[in-house]
């Protein structure tokens, strides 16, 4: 037995989300493979069976939880010279049409011993829309994110760039013609 069950002094309690985020952060910082991450989860499950009941059983489940909360990402292959983003119709192409360089590099240090194709560069896209939707779901955070004129005190103090007279003059003279109201 590792811990005394009656001793909870100094124990930090995590929510399911915060523990999942800490695990994924550890995976990222430690450069752990998916298999190593799964092995770590198995070890934690064996050591602390009561605590690990509602937690993910694999890396796939941990990522799935983050995507369900709107914190997912999309991964696209990028050309080695940054001239082509391989997605949509270009997702199946093996080389760039502009510079004629192959988008794949064969891995030499694969632990399985087989050579496989690895993209030269990867473009990670973190969509903004689901993150903003998630922030506006809570009435507390939505109040902070609304238009600055609702909650701003107009006591003459310069707290935001839009409080400066030069900004107001520029806004008045160069209106785009867009009226949000």
pLDDT band at 111 (very low <50, low <70, confident <90, very high): low
Largest CA distance in the chain: 74
What's the token pair of residue 162?
A: 């839009």
- Coil, strand, or helix at residue 168? helix
Residue 106, H or E segment = strand 104-106
Kindly write down the DSSP assignment for every residue of 69-106, as one continuous string. Answer: TT---EEEEE-TTSS-EE-GGGGG-SB-TTT--BSEEE
Q: 2: number of CA atoms within 13 Å, CB side?
A: 5
CA distance 112 to 20: 29
* pLDDT per position as a tens digit, 123-179: 888 888 888 888 888 888 777 676 555 666 667 777 677 778 888 888 888 777 666
Backbone angles phi, psi at 64, to 5 degrees: -65, -40
CA distance 130 to 67: 10
Other Cβ atoms closer than 10 A to 29: 8
pTM for the full predicted model: 0.58
Q: Is 180 exposed, middle or buried (0-12, 13-18, 19+ CB in 10 A)?
A: exposed
Of 1-15, 21-35, 60-74, the range with the lowest mean pLDDT is 1-15
């Amino acid at each position: 037995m590792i811990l005394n069950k009656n001793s909870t002094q100094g124990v930090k309690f995590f929510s399911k989300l915060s523990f999942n985020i800490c695990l994924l952060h550890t995976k990222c910082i430690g450069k752990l493979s998916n298999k190593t991450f799964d092995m770590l989860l198995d070890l934690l499950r064996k050591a602390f069976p009561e605590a690990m009941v509602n937690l993910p059983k694999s890396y796939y489940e941990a990522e799935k939880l983050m995507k369900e909360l709107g914190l997912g990402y999309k991964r696209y292959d990028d050309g080695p010279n940054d001239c082509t983003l391989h997605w949509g119709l270009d997702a199946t192409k093996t080389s760039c049409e502009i510079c004629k360089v192959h988008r794949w590099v064969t891995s030499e240090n694969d632990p399985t011993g087989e050579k496989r194709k690895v993209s030269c560069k990867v473009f990670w896209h973190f969509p903004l829309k689901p993150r903003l939707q998630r922030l506006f779901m809570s009435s507390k955070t939505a109040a902070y994110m609304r238009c600055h004129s609702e909650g701003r005190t107009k006591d003459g103090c310069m707290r935001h760039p839009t409080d400066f007279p030069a900004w107001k003059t520029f806004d008045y003279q160069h209106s785009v013609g867009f009226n949000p109201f």
